[in-house]
Amino acid sequence: MPKARRRHHAGEVTRFAPQGTWTTHRTKPTREQHLGSHIEPDPTTGCWLWNGQTNKAGQQREVYTVLVGPIPARHRLRHTCGTSGCVNPAHLTPTPPATR
Ligand SMILES: [Zn+2]
């Protein structure tokens, strides 16, 4: 097993997985890796904190869709960890619209 290293330098991109394993590769950045470059994992809570400038709600959906799959129609992502900036798909649960 190669050692997972958290490095963030120009020319390197970070690859991530919901389980929290991170490795770096010198490859052409993909959409997934671009997202990874804006995520700071919190080792205490396991949360992935979004540090990008764009809106967090949109990024949560983006990360979830890339790593997990499509979000069911009209569902929104609800945090199970209570951290508003968290984009870790393991902490996000698709929730159907409220019924009445
Ligand atoms: Zn979280």
Give the DSSP H/E element, type plus range, for residue 64. helix 56-67
**Residue 5 lies inside a defined structural domain of this protein:** no
Q: Tell whether 23 is covered by a domain.
A: yes
Measured in Å, residue 90 CA sits from the centre of ligand 1 at: 8
**Structural domain boundaries enclosing 46:** 13-95
Residue 80 CA to ligand 1 center (angstroms) comes to 7
Show the tokens assigned to 62: 């983006």
Q: Is residue 7 part of a domain?
A: no
Separation of CA 63 from chain center? 5
**CA 49 / ligand 1 centre spacing (Å):** 8
How far is residue 50 from each of residues 2, 16, 56, 76, measured CA to CA in Å? 26, 13, 7, 18
What residues are paired with 40 via a beta bridge?
A: 49
3 in a structural domain: no
Number of domains in the chain: 1
pLDDT tens-place string over residues 37-62: 889 999 999 999 998 776 667 888 98
In a domain, 44, yes or no: yes
| Predicted model pTM | 0.64
Q: How far is the CA of 30 from the centre of ligand 1 (A)?
A: 23
| pLDDT tens digits along 18-42 | 555 555 555 566 778 788 888 999 9
Residue 22 lies in a domain: yes
| Residue 42 maps to a domain | yes
